[in-house]
Each structure stands twice: as structure tokens, then as C-alpha cells.
Amino acid sequence: AESKTISLNRQTFWCPKRNSTHSSSTPLLVALGLDVLCFWVREPEEDSMAGGQSEREDRVSLELTEEILQSMEVGMAFRDYNGRISSMDFHKTSNYLVTASDDESIRLYDIASATCLKTINSKKYGVDLVSFTSHPTTVIYSSKNGWDESLRLLSLHDNKYLRVVSLSLCPRKDCFISGSLDRTVLLWDQRAEKCQGLLRVQGRPAAAYDDQGLVFAIGFGGYIRMFDSRRYEKGPFDIFSLGGDISEANCMKFSNDGRLMLLTTSNGHIHMLDSFRGTLLSTFNVKAVSNNSTLEASFSPDGTFVISGSGDGSVYAWSVRSGKEVASWMSTEPEPTVIKWAPGSLMFVTGSSELSFWIPDLSKLAAYVGRR
């Protein structure tokens, strides 16, 4: 498949080319065990191309601007889901995307070729949240069936019927945190069968590690509590206010440089804070999503924009610097609540009843056309 590679702020960002011819999916073997979900991918031979030459990619240098953002539209969509997409995650160093859906499926995609490599059904346990581990072929996912609300990486059969509503992996270690509707946040080590720590909170928690894995944040009850991951048992070292918004916390995110954080709430508020000072910088407002959905927002890779879906079917983008709306699109999905920007790519993905890949139409950009 043809592609373009775009440099953004001294970083190289890959951008798929429209109307490209997608090759067949990479051969893939899959095993779904009781304790771990693994994807074993057989990589293609490097000299499989004619003459042993790899496909050439055109490279241009562009900065992510409002003009580029406003040109973005759906370049590819997968509409074969039989239920709402509840969660998705990009691996940080590979081209893989994994999704979880209410149709009890886990799907693995190659975003470089925009192909679905494999669909795995988890009919016995169901699936709600999904996240890659540090390894690109292993994921952690939370079960959804009422009789087994557990995490399916470790053997966690404790007979608790409590839904996991937040999941975040430490970027530096094989650790992760989970938050549940029983108002607990558990700290895990992938090498151990039992949780390594427990924090009790007073509401539905949203939790996330920062980019270094040194700090994690827990949002609930109108506040964000900051913890040192090495001394979490001593309690939060700082507490940030959300300006009076006491509605349920939905989703927490840090920017790639760790300086900013986002927290979405059930009433359609998206709060952006300075993660060092705790200053509430902006609050973006969208229509609240339905009760069975969770509102998600995402930073662009360079941290200059925030994107989010909405309960009215729209997708919005705001400038981090000015706090103003800079772009909006009407999605073909009823509630594109799940949204993530692909690491290192000029592309974001939305999920609801379908999976949509949003990319810029470079033919509309004078700066790009003039360089061709």
C-alpha cells in the first residue's frame, strides 16, 4: 500500500495515502489462553519485494497546523461490528491497533495497511476495556459478563461481579492500574498473580500513569489526586480541583510530554489541567453521551490539539494554546465516544458502531501541493 511520511515538529509522522491499494493481511497465528491473550505475527521477508527493494515512501516536512487538522476526514472505515466499540489502544512502537467491542470480539489491525489482521471472539468472558502491554503482541483486557468481571492477563478469579472501568499501563515497567465500580484502584505487576496494592476512593475512578511512569493520577468526585508510584501508600502528594464539576469521571489522559492532563466527565465536560501546578487551563464542552458509554478525549502527538467525540455524533478539535474550537466534523457514527490519536502518525481513529480512520486530505493543502 502506498503511503506518505510527514515530519511534524522534528518527528516523523506516517500518513496513509487515499485510495491506496491494500495488500492482503499479514499471516497471523493467534492463541487465546485462560490467562493471557497473545498475537503471534509472522513478519514478511525483507527481500519479498521485486529485486529485494523495499517500497519507497515520499517524505515531506509539515507542521501540524489548524489547516491540516481542518482538512482531515474519514479515509477508511470498518463497518462490520455487531456492537458498540467500547475500547481501543495503539501500541506505542508498532503499527498495531487493538479494539474491543460489545459483540464480544477483540480485533487486531495493522494501521500501516489499514487491514484487520485477526478477529478473536471472547464469548465466554466478554470484553470491555483493552490495552497493549509493552509487548506488541500481548494485551490485557477486562471481562464484561456479569459472572466474571475480571482482568484477563493474570489469574484473577475472585468471583467479584464488579466492572473494571479504568485501565492504564505503566510505560516504563510491567505494571498497570485498574479502577472498578466497587470504588477501588488496584495496582498490578504482570509477573504476579495478585494485586500489589489497593487504594479506596469515594466514587467511580479514572486512573492514568504519566509518560514516565513515575506518577499516576486518579480522578473522582470533582478532584484529581496525584500519587508517586513508588510511594503511593503514603497517599496523594497533591490534589487538583475540577472547578466544581462533581459528575462521574470517565477517562484520564496525560500528554506525551507529561505536562498536561485531560479528564472527561459524564456530563460532557473535558477538563485540561497543568499536571505540575494543577491549574485548570480549559474546559471543553460537548453533548453528554449515553449512560452505557464513556466519553474519551485525546491529545495530538505534539500536544497542540485536543480531540473528542460527542453525544450528538460530532467530532471536535480544540487548540491547547488558545482553548478555542478549531475544527469540527459530523461523524457517520451516532456517538463516536472512543477516540485516540495514533502515536507518530498524522491520523486519529474514532469508534462507536464502526471504526473510522481520520487522515488529512493533502491535496487540499497548498503547502503540501507546492512541495510535490
Would the pLDDT of 118 be above 80?
yes
Contacts of 253 (CB under 8 A, 6+ apart): 208, 261, 262, 263, 297, 298, 299
Distance CA(245)–CA(94), nearest Å, equals 37
Start-to-end CA distance of the chain, whole Å, equals: 19
- 268 Rama sector, left if φ>0, alpha if ψ -120 to 50, beta otherwise: left
Is 315 within 8 Å of 336 (Cβ atoms)?
Answer: yes
Give the amino acid at 325.
E
Q: What residue ranges do the domains of the chain occupy?
A: 63-79+290-371
Distance CA(180)–CA(166), nearest Å, equals 7
pLDDT of residue 107: 92
In this prediction, residues 102-123 reach a mean pLDDT of 88
Distance CA(361)–CA(356), nearest Å, equals 15
The DSSP bridge partners found for residue 11 are 8
Distance CA(300)–CA(304), nearest Å, equals 6
Distance CA(131)–CA(162), nearest Å, equals 19
In this prediction, residues 10-34 reach a mean pLDDT of 38
Distance CA(298)–CA(317), nearest Å, equals 10
For residue 175, what pLDDT band results from cuts at 50, 70 and 90? confident
pLDDT tens digits along 133-159:
877 777 888 876 654 455 554 222 233
The chain-wide mean pLDDT, for the chain, equals 80
pTM of the model: 0.80
For residue 354, what pLDDT band results from cuts at 50, 70 and 90? very high
Give the amino acid at 295.
L
Is 188 within 8 Å of 196 (Cβ atoms)?
Answer: yes
pLDDT of residue 133: 80
